[in-house]
Structure 1
Amino acid sequence: MSKIDEERSAVQILIKQRIALVSRQWTARAARLFKTSGYTNAQRAPLYLLRDAPTGMTQTELATGLSLSEPTLSRRIARLLEDGLVSKHRLLGDGRANLIKLEPSGLQALHSSEATASRDRNLLFQGLSDEDLGVTLRVLNVLASRISGPVDIGGEPEGELASV
């Protein structure tokens, strides 16, 4: 392995470790941020998806959209149902499926928590240019698509990031 390859490998390892660390720290920060509202960031996530689905979503669609197992989502939905933020209805034509809809109180809870989240994001992203954010998003999108793809360590990676 050449010196350049070793340096690239070291940077890749640092990036992987940093993404994992930042993800855990962001989750912990969100927990502290929303502690007073009684909801975790994980409980707010279904509300975001439902906000953009005025006719509702099935639990399967929600689970897929959030990359969660259905049992995990069911526990989160149960809390949101209990608090009146969402409602559950049998899907017409398929009595086995449940349609989850955002209730007005859920939209209000999302709006008020989003104001807090927005202020926090502005603080965290302070000083980063639009270009910085664009490059970061492109890199994360490529990594996300590759992570969810097949594992093939024998092939050469595609040159999707050549312009980044």
Structure 2
Amino acid sequence: MEERNGVVTFAGKPATLLGPEIKVGDQAPDFTVVDNGLNAKTLKDFEGVKLISVVPSLDTPVCDAQTRRFNEEAAKLNATVLTISADLPFAQKRWCGAAGIDKVVTLSDYQTMSFGSAYGTYLKDLRLEARAIFVVNSKNEVTYVEYVKEVTDHPNYEKAIEAVKAAQ
């Protein structure tokens, strides 16, 4: 598997990403993750435009804020909003219930890190996801990518939302 060094830092320390760098124009790679009911989900399970929000762990302040922000925006967007982390599905379900998250689909990559390996967000040393945003159109073409340089920083919410609107 491809290793990419120097792409991101985690709390100021260089981190190694596993998997390829996804670019605008690429065909979105398939993946297998698990939903909160422990059902396997793949890219093909989600039609139309998709905003894929990737976070290290929902139980951290920036991931919490990112998921809440996209949950608010989801009501205004004609797109499916997916949040993917390596959190256990049980933890995701508990967090969503406590946070009132009802428009974002949370998916767990904990079993095989299939998503992280396919999208180049797998933080090798931590076995977590790096923070990233992908927008995928209805033809499953990638139309927007942001790998957040410092994993503990926020993504560019406005650019991601603009990209979703442009992909429709």
TM score, norm. by length of structure 2: 0.28
- Structure with the bigger percentage of helix: 1
TM (normalized to structure 1)? 0.29
| Higher share of residues assigned strand | 2
Higher relative contact order (CA 8 A, sep 6+): 2
In our comparison, the structure showing a higher alpha carbon Rg is: 1
